[in-house]
Amino acid sequence: MENAATNRTCHDACSPSGEHLIRLEQVGYAYRNGTMHQPVLDGVSLSIGRGESCAIVGTSGSGKSTLLNIIGLLDQPTAGRFLLDGQDMAQTTAEDRAKARNQTIGFVFQSFNLLPRLNALDNVALPLLYRGCTRQTARHAARHGIERVGLADRAHHRPADLSGGQRQRVAIARALVGQPSLLLADEPTGNLDSATADDILSLLLSLNREQGVTLVVVTHDESIARRMQRCVRVKDGQLQEQEAGAPYA
């Protein structure tokens, strides 16, 4: 009964507008190991409103990254439903999901995932080239994105010539160049010193506030979780909603 109540709290919480961009209904996920199934998520229900910021926290192996992968359409749940912007993702094709990943979702990873042979500008332009935009159009939008994260003077530098914080700013510009409605960040400050990490988090939160991008961050850092509007903790395959600003230990 306690788990059901906890999930209901996570499920019903929403933004003031009442619009849900993300909605998971009794979602389960299990890894296959030969003939055995190893459950990771069990009956998880969660709604995140359009324009909200939400942290997902939990210990290593708790399932928080699996949850992010489902929201990011990198994995499909083995039970329940996941609706993105009102559309049941189980009813879509692989091509539709790939299109949503490219056009609706922006990803920011701990390891930056920049292509070393491309300069910052061309790394940011890449998602638009995948959409079929012309090189000129993609680079024009990428230049604006680079300026928005404060790296106009580093646009033609390759990743190896950038600091960790600068590389993460390039990764954020790349995630946002296609104007996604959802930004997913997996430990985005994990490889950064504390001062740079604070700058990156402030940038993400300003984008959330000023542009209305829904922000979901997986983190183990309590200070990051406290700065989000909401925080949910993954524990034993279940979700627990935390009070805003409360520690999650």
- Of 110, 103, 230, 74, the closest CA to residue 175 belongs to 103
d(CA 206, CA 210): 6
Measured CA to CA, the distance from residue 36 to residue 30 in angstroms comes to 9
Q: At what angle do helices 164-176 and 194-211 cross, to 10 degrees?
A: 20
Residue whose entry in the numeric block shows the structure tokens 């985005």: 188
Residue 154 DSSP symbol = G
Closest of 126, 148, 153 to residue 138, by C-alpha: 126
Q: What is the pLDDT of residue 244?
A: 57
> Under DSSP, is residue 135 helix (H, G, I), strand (E, B) or coil?
helix
Q: Any idea where the domains of the chain sit in the sequence? A: 116-179
| 176, 8 Cβ separation under 8 angstroms | no
Q: What is the pTM of this model?
A: 0.84
Give the residue from 164, 152, 172, 162 showing the smallest Cα distance to 194. Answer: 164
Tens digit of pLDDT at every position of the chain (249 positions):
334 434 433 544 434 444 889 999 999 999 877 777 788 999 999 999 999 999 999 888 888 989 999 999 999 999 999 999 999 999 999 999 998 998 899 999 888 899 999 999 999 999 999 889 999 999 999 999 999 899 999 999 999 999 999 999 999 999 999 899 999 999 988 888 888 889 999 999 998 999 899 999 999 888 899 999 999 999 888 998 876 555 544
Among residues 112, 50, 103, 64, the alpha carbon closest in space to that of 231 is found at: 64
Pick the closest to residue 74 from 206, 218, 227 (CA basis): 218
DSSP H or E run through 217: strand 214-218
Amino acid in position 84 = L
Provide the token pair at 248: 């999650």
Burial class (CB in 10 A: 0-12, 13-18, 19+), 3: middle
**CA separation (Å) from 185 to 35, 129, 150, 152?**
33, 22, 19, 23
Distance, CA of 57 to CA of 67 (rounded, Å): 11
